[in-house]
Structure 1
Amino acid sequence: MLPVRIPSTAPDVATARVMARTTGAFYAMGGTAVLALASVTGPRTDGRVLAVIGVVALTVALLLLVGGERLPRATFHVAVLGGTCLISLAVLAAPDPASAVAAAAIYVFVAVDSFLFFAWAPATAQFGLALVAQVGCLAAVRDVPAAVAVCTTLVCLAVAAVTGLLVQRASSASRDGLTGLLNRRGFDGVLDATRPGDPVALALLDLDRFKQVNDSHGHGAGDLLLRSVAVACRRAVPAATAVARLGGDEFALLLATGSSARALAGVEAVRAALPGCGFSAGVAVRADGESAADLLRRADAALYAAKAGGRGRSVLSGGDTSRVAVDLAAALAAGHVTVALQPIVSLADGGTVGVEALARWRDPVRGPVSPAEFVPAAEAAGLVGELGATVLRSACTDAGRLAAAWGRRVLLTVNVSGQELVCPDYAERVLQTLADTGWDPRDLVVEVTESLLEASSSPALGTLARLRRHGIGVAIDDFGTGWSSFSRLDTLPADYLKLDATFLATSTTSPRRAGMLRALLELGDTLGLTVVAEGVETAEQERLLVHLGCPLVQGWLYSAARPVDELVAAGPVPAPALR
């Protein structure tokens, strides 16, 4: 897990992992010491109280050591405060003055923990409270000499002061003196602390034409610009981001996300915060099992590609990141990509049996962006997985509203990219989305275009098979446009056959095309595939399909793709010929 981003005034060692392990170890040692005191006290009441305190401390230690690194930062303030309380109870429960002084010595752990992990203000507050508790509890115990209490308190004060000074000195070695950000040494430490399985993204930023600023306006202006960039980075990126100045005009962001869209959106947020300063950026999202060195190498290569491509742009490693892709990444991160639903109609009774979910994106500058433009951009930039996940979740949510409004089950079809199908965990992610949204797997159909080369690969076929085992249907979309259509029918595990609109374009005027349409319908029936004719635009085409026995249709004759609110208000769409 990515270490928590540290505020500029807090020690750099205070990562989630180090905090959890150190605090857990202190709890374990303190709990063991209290149990040792309980063992020499015997079965008296105060001995039993000490035993309970020791067991509680050891339990907390176990929780921190096992899962503490996943806890929010504020939890460790609670853990240190809880430690102060347990130590105070142990001092008060001690059977004799010597045992009380021994228990009070454990306050040293609070001193170390506070100044090792917290900024000076909260550390002083935590230790001040512990110091007051120490003095008060020792004063409440009979026969503890004042000199002993004072010496114990002074020892804690000395340990706290030395810890704070050493940590501050160590932190300054990993900080950039000009901007206050992590320097290369500090950033390398944070990056190396991540594990190969952690979902992180690395962005390298290089200011464009920074040398001209120094040459034209002096180094003072250059320093001021660097500080401005540091401030913008801190304010624009999420709190869990490690921000560094690696040297010169190069900055780095280590974002706690495995999402390409969120990583690019973070970089673009920094760009938006610096309207008068251009920079090039290379972004790399950690692959499964990838080392920190390999991640850094890919981000550096992406940065080089961005600079070679004309500067002022961001490039995602492994993809050609166009301006459309960058804006799409921001739209995905902001939740601005939605779906529209196009009804699927049964010609047997004219009722609406399902809907196809189609991605929609309205950019504030461009206006509505065609899927023909942004889907290829997403595929080239490696964003298609996040686009598909967004569409699926939105589609399941909207279809759920539709089914509730109509009072019956609704078939939902969603397009899937070949890049998604070859991802090993795609089927599991789909099933998790269905579980999260409450959509029945039996009412979902994933559409795969026959022209996708990935669809014929073994991983893709395995993914489709896993989906079908869970009740999810598979449709071959745009059938008839590829060169190997019939061979794919034999290899793809499919339940539906969606005929491309080109079959209907001239079917009412061309006997040959009508004959082909009849043959395809018969082929689907023979293979046990439910046929859906797409692109129905005229009543004449509909009458032909009724005559040929086509079971399902969709197209502008019935309805364009519309937002769910409009479909809910309009109700199920009947077929014109059967009204």
Structure 2
Amino acid sequence: MMARVLATFYIAAAIAGLFAVFGPGARAEGRWQIFGMVLLVLVCGTAAFRWGPYWPRRVFHLPVASASALVACVVLISPDPATAVAAAAVLSFVAVDACFFFSLRLAWLHLAFGITAVTAALMAQGDVPVSIALGLDAIIVALGTVVRGLVIRASSASRDPLTGLANRRGFDDGLQELLANAGRTGERLTAALLDLDHFKQINDTAGHEAGDLVLCRIADVWRRELPTGAVLSRHGGDEFALLLPGTTGPDALELVRRIAALHPEIGLSVGLAEHHRDQSAADLMRRADRALYDAKAAGRGRAELEGGPGSELARDLEAALAAGDVEVHYQLIVALADGATVGVEALSRWTHPERGPLPPAEFVAVAEHSGLIATLGAHVLRTACRQLAGVRTPAGEQVTLGVNVSGRELSDPDYAQRVHAVLAETGFPAGHLVLEVTENLIEGQSPTAVAALHELRAAGLKVSIDDFGTGYSSLSRLDTLPADVLKLDRSFVATLSTSPRRAQMLTSLVAMCRGLGLDVVAEGVETAEQEAAVRGVGCSFAQGWLYGRAVPLPELLAGLRPGAAALPQEAASRG
């Protein structure tokens, strides 16, 4: 935009000069000197049009100041006062450029230089009255002032009033301009999305004024440290967006991490994506958003560059799965009637080579988002079936195995066949395998997922609805769910002993499930009081730290020896 405006004014000034020296009634005196100036102006205008889009903002000070000097020179060599005044009027272009391009202080410096030089040239003419020169100066100053006001008024629609940064509209305009430039020149461009960690907590605990100060602090630090040409905007709330023209993805990642380290008291999660040729603005920002998700899933306070398979953590997880470094641990499920172990749930565990043991919620979310969830699920299923095939409970029964299944796995048309293949390979009995799916997945009514569940149930497998009560629970749908087991979410268990109404509600729910032939497992049982409460509402089975944390296979086998399960609290103390 700056290059186009500058080039237009230069070329218009050159055309005006041609009329002044070659138009009807023009005097021949000084004609060729002015014509030489006109040619120089045309060359400058052409150069601004051709190469101006590649100039950094600071370079534009030179052609604007040069324009003032050229106008003063033309005024000096003008053959008559009328031509001199006409040439001086071209300074209005300089006023518009300066007030449109630069800050108020720099704009007035350009105006002061131009008005001083041109007024001195008019006075040197000798035949131009001082009143005419001052009147022209007043018009130019007024024009610059009005243009400045219009620029501020127009830019306010694209500015965030709190931080002074561009808003979403301003960011979108800048993105379209930079993408067009990248398409012409092949220049690199990296986009980033920045999200403040736990910002809602700041507003809730310290008030919205404190939250506003945090946002302004972020804006000040990043505005000061970012290179010339970068576009930083506040998209709204606690989310910022950034464009870094001429910067590769890895360089942008290093820059973002360096700036984020300047305010360690304010945590930021950042996702970056480098623009690919012929990629749309929506695709670029979608990739940056995916990288931001990776950063949050990896523990927040991180910056991640989107790059194919996913974040650094996703690549580490992929390598760990290929090397067999993701372990499977098992948590006991007991019958509340006698405390006997009846089954286990298989849970993945991963010790990162640098960060140590990672919470399953963290790396499972990364696997889900990066497309590794099918690989992770297949690894857990195959490992658990192989390790537990033939393993008996203390009562001598085949141990029942629960394995979590994601919606992405079930949506694969070949999932049921892969499960059958694992059972055939490992020899694990289908009747003792329970696939645990979330209530929301069933609620989503994915035809492929539901069909897979029906097919597997027909083959003898059981289906468990995990975390029941956290989604859009509907008691009327209990008779239509393709399920054999209902697992009550731990949030119910945690408040059961303190809420008589909830206890009554769960008593009714459990009775309804029994009438429908569904077993009910209470998750998250951690104390003897909670065990008594879930037994009181009629639950048949329970799972939780009271009976032991998730343990690797050797510890599980030791606990399943006859007599070892008679004291479940001892297992908890070992966990």
TM-score of the superposed pair, with normalisation by structure 2: 0.51
* Cross-structure match for 1:322: 312
**C-alpha distance in 2 between matches for 1:94 and 1:236:** 48
* Cross-structure match for 1:525: none
* Cross-structure match for 1:497: none
* 1:264-309 Cα shifts (integer Å, max 9, x gaps): 1122123211212222221111011111121112212222233234
Q: Do 1:282 and 1:306's aligned partners in 2 also have CA atoms closer than 8 Å?
A: yes
- How many residues align structurally? 313
Q: Match of 1:282, SS?
A: strand
Give the direction of change, closer, same or farther, for the CA distance of 1:35–1:241 in structure 2 (3 Å limit): same
How far off its partner does 1:47 sit? 0.7
**C-alpha distance in 2 between matches for 1:52 and 1:214:** 65
The structure with the largest alpha-carbon Rg is 2
Give the direction of change, closer, same or farther, for the CA distance of 1:156–1:322 in structure 2 (3 Å limit): same
* 1:186-207 Cα shifts (integer Å, max 9, x gaps): 1111111122534111110111
**C-alpha distance in 1 between matches for 2:314 and 2:256:** 15
**C-alpha distance in 2 between matches for 1:42 and 1:178:** 56
Give the direction of change, closer, same or farther, for the CA distance of 1:133–1:295 in structure 2 (3 Å limit): same
Q: Match of 2:175, SS?
A: helix
* Cross-structure match for 2:360: none
How far off its partner does 1:89 sit? 1.3
- The range that moved more, 312-321 or 174-183, is 312-321
* Cross-structure match for 1:429: none
* Cross-structure match for 1:295: 284
Q: Do 2:159 and 2:165's aligned partners in 1 also have CA atoms closer than 8 Å?
A: yes
Q: Do 1:236 and 1:269's aligned partners in 2 also have CA atoms closer than 8 Å?
A: no
* Cross-structure match for 1:219: 208
- Establish whether residue 280 from structure 1 lines up as the match of residue 269 from structure 2: yes
1:11-22 mapped onto 2 (5 Å cutoff): 18-22=1-5
* 1:328-380 Cα shifts (integer Å, max 9, x gaps): xxxxxxxxxxxxxxxxxxxxxxxxxxxxxxxxxxxxx99xxxxxxxxxxxxxx
* Cross-structure match for 1:109: 93
**Given residue 77 of structure 1, which amino acid in structure 2 is its aligned partner?**
H
- Establish whether residue 97 from structure 1 lines up as the match of residue 81 from structure 2: yes
* Cross-structure match for 2:9: 26
> Between the two proteins, what is the percent identity of the paired residues?
41
**Given residue 173 of structure 2, which amino acid in structure 1 is its aligned partner?**
G
Higher RCO (Cα < 8 Å, 6 or more apart) = 1
* Cross-structure match for 1:530: none
* Cross-structure match for 2:103: 119
**C-alpha distance in 2 between matches for 1:153 and 1:261:** 51
Q: Do 2:196 and 2:239's aligned partners in 1 also have CA atoms closer than 8 Å?
A: yes
Name the Cα RMSD after superposition: 2.5
How far off its partner does 1:232 sit? 2.4
**C-alpha distance in 1 between matches for 2:27 and 2:4:** 33
1:161-176 mapped onto 2 (5 Å cutoff): 161-176=145-160
Give the direction of change, closer, same or farther, for the CA distance of 1:132–1:89 in structure 2 (3 Å limit): same
Q: Do 1:37 and 1:50's aligned partners in 2 also have CA atoms closer than 8 Å?
A: no
Q: Do 2:244 and 2:252's aligned partners in 1 also have CA atoms closer than 8 Å?
A: yes
1:557-568 mapped onto 2 (5 Å cutoff): none
**C-alpha distance in 1 between matches for 2:123 and 2:285:** 57
1:137 corresponds to which of 115, 118, 121: 121
* Cross-structure match for 1:188: 172
- Establish whether residue 52 from structure 1 lines up as the match of residue 36 from structure 2: yes
Give the direction of change, closer, same or farther, for the CA distance of 1:257–1:99 in structure 2 (3 Å limit): closer
Q: Do 1:115 and 1:123's aligned partners in 2 also have CA atoms closer than 8 Å?
A: yes
**C-alpha distance in 2 between matches for 1:258 and 1:75:** 19
Q: Do 2:298 and 2:313's aligned partners in 1 also have CA atoms closer than 8 Å?
A: no
* Cross-structure match for 2:248: 259
1:248 corresponds to which of 228, 237, 240: 237
**C-alpha distance in 1 between matches for 2:48 and 2:170:** 25
**C-alpha distance in 2 between matches for 1:148 and 1:239:** 41
Q: Do 2:188 and 2:275's aligned partners in 1 also have CA atoms closer than 8 Å?
A: yes
* Cross-structure match for 1:237: 226
* 1:95-154 Cα shifts (integer Å, max 9, x gaps): 111111111110100110110001111110110111112222222223323433232222
* Cross-structure match for 1:496: none
How far off its partner does 1:230 sit? 1.4
**C-alpha distance in 2 between matches for 1:239 and 1:19:** 15
**C-alpha distance in 2 between matches for 1:257 and 1:78:** 22
**Given residue 68 of structure 1, which amino acid in structure 2 is its aligned partner?**
G
Q: Match of 1:273, SS?
A: coil
**C-alpha distance in 2 between matches for 1:74 and 1:20:** 12
**Given residue 50 of structure 2, which amino acid in structure 1 is its aligned partner?**
V
Q: Do 2:196 and 2:238's aligned partners in 1 also have CA atoms closer than 8 Å?
A: yes
**C-alpha distance in 2 between matches for 1:325 and 1:110:** 55
How far off its partner does 1:314 sit? 2.6
Q: Match of 2:193, SS?
A: strand
**Given residue 166 of structure 1, which amino acid in structure 2 is its aligned partner?**
L
**Given residue 21 of structure 1, which amino acid in structure 2 is its aligned partner?**
R
**C-alpha distance in 2 between matches for 1:19 and 1:105:** 21
Q: Do 1:200 and 1:257's aligned partners in 2 also have CA atoms closer than 8 Å?
A: yes
**C-alpha distance in 2 between matches for 1:199 and 1:216:** 42
How far off its partner does 1:258 sit? 4.7
**C-alpha distance in 2 between matches for 1:288 and 1:43:** 55
TM-score of the superposed pair, with normalisation by structure 1: 0.51
How far off its partner does 1:79 sit? 0.4
* Cross-structure match for 2:138: 154
2:62 corresponds to which of 59, 78, 89: 78
* Cross-structure match for 1:36: 19
Give the direction of change, closer, same or farther, for the CA distance of 1:164–1:325 in structure 2 (3 Å limit): farther
